[in-house]
Homo-oligomer: A and B are copies of this chain.
Amino acid sequence: MSDLIIWTYDWVPQGPRGFVRDLRLRWACEEAGLAYAVRTVPFDGRQTNHLQHQPFGQVPFLSDGDLDIFESGAGLLHLARKSEKLMPRDPDGEAQTVQWMIAALNTIEMVSVPWWFLEVSGAKDNGLAGWMKSRLDQLEKVLSEREWLAADRFTSADLLMADVLRVSKVRALGDRPATETYVTRVTDRPSFKKARADQLAHFAAADESRSAAG
Protein backbone atom coordinates (compact mmCIF):
# COMPACT_ATOMS: atom_id res chain seq x y z
CA MET A 1 0.00 0.00 0.00
CA SER A 2 1.18 3.46 -0.86
CA ASP A 3 1.51 6.28 1.62
CA LEU A 4 0.78 8.85 -1.07
CA ILE A 5 -2.89 9.50 -1.65
CA ILE A 6 -4.15 11.99 -4.21
CA TRP A 7 -7.65 13.19 -3.36
CA THR A 8 -9.97 14.36 -6.12
CA TYR A 9 -13.72 14.56 -6.78
CA ASP A 10 -15.77 11.42 -7.28
CA TRP A 11 -17.22 12.94 -10.46
CA VAL A 12 -17.13 16.16 -12.46
CA PRO A 13 -19.06 17.32 -15.56
CA GLN A 14 -17.46 16.87 -19.01
CA GLY A 15 -16.04 20.43 -19.21
CA PRO A 16 -13.19 20.21 -16.68
CA ARG A 17 -12.27 16.58 -17.39
CA GLY A 18 -8.63 16.32 -18.35
CA PHE A 19 -7.96 19.58 -16.48
CA VAL A 20 -8.85 18.86 -12.84
CA ARG A 21 -5.66 19.55 -10.96
CA ASP A 22 -5.25 16.12 -9.44
CA LEU A 23 -3.68 15.59 -12.87
CA ARG A 24 -0.65 17.65 -11.79
CA LEU A 25 -0.02 15.35 -8.84
CA ARG A 26 -0.69 12.15 -10.81
CA TRP A 27 1.73 13.37 -13.49
CA ALA A 28 4.44 14.19 -10.94
CA CYS A 29 4.11 10.76 -9.29
CA GLU A 30 4.30 9.08 -12.70
CA GLU A 31 7.44 11.04 -13.64
CA ALA A 32 9.10 10.21 -10.35
CA GLY A 33 7.96 6.59 -10.20
CA LEU A 34 6.27 7.21 -6.84
CA ALA A 35 3.49 4.80 -5.91
CA TYR A 36 0.18 6.51 -5.14
CA ALA A 37 -3.49 5.83 -4.67
CA VAL A 38 -6.41 8.01 -5.74
CA ARG A 39 -9.35 8.60 -3.41
CA THR A 40 -12.36 10.83 -3.68
CA VAL A 41 -14.57 13.39 -1.98
CA PRO A 42 -18.08 14.07 -3.31
CA PHE A 43 -18.42 16.68 -6.04
CA ASP A 44 -21.96 17.37 -4.82
CA GLY A 45 -21.75 19.65 -1.80
CA ARG A 46 -18.08 20.39 -2.50
CA GLN A 47 -18.46 23.97 -1.24
CA THR A 48 -18.80 22.70 2.32
CA ASN A 49 -18.26 18.96 2.64
CA HIS A 50 -14.46 18.73 2.83
CA LEU A 51 -13.42 22.13 4.18
CA GLN A 52 -11.39 20.45 6.92
CA HIS A 53 -9.07 19.17 4.17
CA GLN A 54 -9.35 22.05 1.68
CA PRO A 55 -10.73 25.31 3.11
CA PHE A 56 -11.71 26.60 -0.34
CA GLY A 57 -13.71 23.48 -1.25
CA GLN A 58 -11.41 22.52 -4.07
CA VAL A 59 -9.33 19.53 -5.11
CA PRO A 60 -6.76 18.11 -5.13
CA PHE A 61 -5.20 17.58 -1.78
CA LEU A 62 -2.41 15.18 -1.07
CA SER A 63 -1.92 12.85 1.88
CA ASP A 64 1.54 11.56 2.64
CA GLY A 65 1.31 9.42 5.76
CA ASP A 66 0.35 11.88 8.51
CA LEU A 67 0.79 14.94 6.30
CA ASP A 68 -2.20 16.53 4.61
CA ILE A 69 -1.35 19.16 1.96
CA PHE A 70 -3.77 21.21 -0.14
CA GLU A 71 -2.92 23.45 -3.13
CA SER A 72 -1.62 21.58 -6.15
CA GLY A 73 1.45 23.84 -6.18
CA ALA A 74 2.29 22.91 -2.59
CA GLY A 75 1.70 19.23 -3.36
CA LEU A 76 4.08 19.51 -6.32
CA LEU A 77 6.76 21.18 -4.18
CA HIS A 78 6.37 18.35 -1.66
CA LEU A 79 6.71 15.67 -4.35
CA ALA A 80 9.63 17.51 -5.98
CA ARG A 81 11.60 17.11 -2.75
CA LYS A 82 11.12 13.34 -2.97
CA SER A 83 12.68 12.84 -6.39
CA GLU A 84 15.60 14.22 -8.32
CA LYS A 85 13.58 13.48 -11.46
CA LEU A 86 11.30 16.39 -10.57
CA MET A 87 13.87 18.81 -9.15
CA PRO A 88 17.68 18.82 -9.24
CA ARG A 89 19.43 18.43 -5.89
CA ASP A 90 22.04 21.17 -6.37
CA PRO A 91 21.13 24.60 -4.89
CA ASP A 92 21.08 26.40 -8.24
CA GLY A 93 18.94 23.75 -9.95
CA GLU A 94 16.55 23.73 -7.02
CA ALA A 95 16.29 27.54 -6.90
CA GLN A 96 15.61 27.74 -10.63
CA THR A 97 12.98 25.02 -10.44
CA VAL A 98 11.17 26.63 -7.51
CA GLN A 99 11.25 30.12 -9.03
CA TRP A 100 9.72 28.88 -12.29
CA MET A 101 7.08 26.89 -10.42
CA ILE A 102 6.11 30.08 -8.60
CA ALA A 103 6.22 32.02 -11.88
CA ALA A 104 3.75 29.51 -13.36
CA LEU A 105 1.42 30.00 -10.38
CA ASN A 106 1.80 33.70 -9.62
CA THR A 107 2.90 35.37 -12.87
CA ILE A 108 1.21 33.36 -15.64
CA GLU A 109 -1.72 31.59 -13.97
CA MET A 110 -2.56 34.67 -11.88
CA VAL A 111 -3.49 36.30 -15.18
CA SER A 112 -4.51 33.32 -17.32
CA VAL A 113 -7.14 31.83 -15.01
CA PRO A 114 -9.01 35.11 -14.31
CA TRP A 115 -8.68 35.99 -18.03
CA TRP A 116 -10.13 32.59 -18.94
CA PHE A 117 -12.87 33.02 -16.34
CA LEU A 118 -13.92 36.34 -17.90
CA GLU A 119 -13.82 34.77 -21.37
CA VAL A 120 -16.13 31.90 -20.46
CA SER A 121 -18.37 34.28 -18.48
CA GLY A 122 -19.12 35.90 -21.84
CA ALA A 123 -17.87 39.35 -20.81
CA LYS A 124 -17.96 41.69 -23.82
CA ASP A 125 -14.58 43.26 -23.18
CA ASN A 126 -12.06 41.19 -21.33
CA GLY A 127 -10.25 43.77 -19.21
CA LEU A 128 -7.35 41.37 -18.68
CA ALA A 129 -6.63 40.79 -22.39
CA GLY A 130 -3.74 43.25 -22.71
CA TRP A 131 -2.04 42.04 -19.57
CA MET A 132 -2.52 38.42 -20.64
CA LYS A 133 -0.95 38.99 -24.05
CA SER A 134 2.01 40.85 -22.60
CA ARG A 135 2.77 38.07 -20.10
CA LEU A 136 2.54 35.43 -22.83
CA ASP A 137 4.82 37.51 -25.08
CA GLN A 138 7.41 37.77 -22.32
CA LEU A 139 7.24 34.01 -21.81
CA GLU A 140 7.49 33.41 -25.57
CA LYS A 141 10.81 35.28 -25.52
CA VAL A 142 12.09 33.00 -22.74
CA LEU A 143 10.90 29.84 -24.47
CA SER A 144 12.40 30.88 -27.81
CA GLU A 145 15.82 30.67 -26.14
CA ARG A 146 15.59 27.40 -24.23
CA GLU A 147 13.93 23.99 -24.26
CA TRP A 148 13.24 23.71 -20.53
CA LEU A 149 12.60 26.42 -17.95
CA ALA A 150 15.11 25.37 -15.31
CA ALA A 151 18.48 23.63 -15.18
CA ASP A 152 18.53 22.63 -18.89
CA ARG A 153 16.31 19.60 -18.27
CA PHE A 154 12.72 18.63 -17.55
CA THR A 155 11.65 19.60 -14.02
CA SER A 156 8.39 20.07 -12.16
CA ALA A 157 8.54 23.70 -13.33
CA ASP A 158 7.86 22.48 -16.88
CA LEU A 159 5.12 20.19 -15.63
CA LEU A 160 3.36 23.10 -13.95
CA MET A 161 3.96 25.73 -16.63
CA ALA A 162 2.84 23.41 -19.45
CA ASP A 163 -0.28 22.52 -17.47
CA VAL A 164 -1.07 26.23 -17.14
CA LEU A 165 -0.42 26.89 -20.83
CA ARG A 166 -2.13 23.88 -22.45
CA VAL A 167 -5.63 25.33 -21.97
CA SER A 168 -7.06 25.68 -25.48
CA LYS A 169 -8.21 29.30 -25.13
CA VAL A 170 -4.73 30.27 -23.94
CA ARG A 171 -3.08 28.42 -26.85
CA ALA A 172 -5.42 30.10 -29.32
CA LEU A 173 -4.59 33.63 -28.09
CA GLY A 174 -2.13 34.68 -30.77
CA ASP A 175 0.68 32.97 -32.59
CA ARG A 176 3.53 32.05 -30.24
CA PRO A 177 5.46 29.25 -31.93
CA ALA A 178 8.08 28.70 -29.20
CA THR A 179 5.36 28.40 -26.55
CA GLU A 180 3.36 26.01 -28.73
CA THR A 181 6.42 23.84 -29.38
CA TYR A 182 7.21 23.87 -25.67
CA VAL A 183 3.70 22.82 -24.61
CA THR A 184 3.77 20.02 -27.19
CA ARG A 185 7.22 18.89 -26.02
CA VAL A 186 6.18 18.72 -22.37
CA THR A 187 2.74 17.17 -22.89
CA ASP A 188 4.18 14.55 -25.25
CA ARG A 189 5.76 12.93 -22.21
CA PRO A 190 4.31 9.46 -21.48
CA SER A 191 3.72 10.44 -17.83
CA PHE A 192 1.43 13.28 -18.85
CA LYS A 193 -0.47 11.04 -21.24
CA LYS A 194 -0.93 8.37 -18.59
CA ALA A 195 -2.04 10.89 -15.95
CA ARG A 196 -4.56 12.44 -18.32
CA ALA A 197 -5.90 9.06 -19.51
CA ASP A 198 -6.20 7.89 -15.89
CA GLN A 199 -8.15 11.02 -14.92
CA LEU A 200 -10.50 10.65 -17.90
CA ALA A 201 -11.05 6.96 -17.06
CA HIS A 202 -11.70 7.84 -13.41
CA PHE A 203 -14.50 10.24 -14.28
CA ALA A 204 -15.88 8.00 -17.05
CA ALA A 205 -16.20 5.15 -14.53
CA ALA A 206 -18.10 7.56 -12.28
CA ASP A 207 -20.58 8.20 -15.12
CA GLU A 208 -21.25 4.46 -15.30
CA SER A 209 -21.93 4.09 -11.59
CA ARG A 210 -24.13 7.20 -11.60
CA SER A 211 -26.13 5.78 -14.46
CA ALA A 212 -26.33 2.31 -12.83
CA ALA A 213 -27.58 3.96 -9.63
CA GLY A 214 -30.17 5.94 -11.63
Contact = CB atoms under 8 A, between A and B. Distances in A.
A56 B104 CA distance: 12
Place the interface of chain A in its size category.
35 or more
A95 B78 contact: yes
A110 B107 contact: no
Residue in A51, A92, A128 with the greatest tally of chain B CB atoms within 10 Å: A128
Given A67-B95, A95-B67, A127-B123, A135 B56 contact: yes
B57 A74 contact: no
B110 A118 contact: no
B73 A106 contact: yes
B105 A105 contact: yes
A5 B140 CA distance: 28
Contacts of A57: 138
Interface string A98-118: 110111011101110111011
A177 to B, nearest CB: 18
B118 A127 contact: yes
Contacts of A4: none
A159 to B, nearest CB: 15
A179 to B, nearest CB: 13
Contacts of A128: 114, 117-118
Contacts of A113: 110
A98 B78 contact: yes
Contact of A67 (B56, B71, B91): B91
A69 interface: yes
Contacts of A115: 114
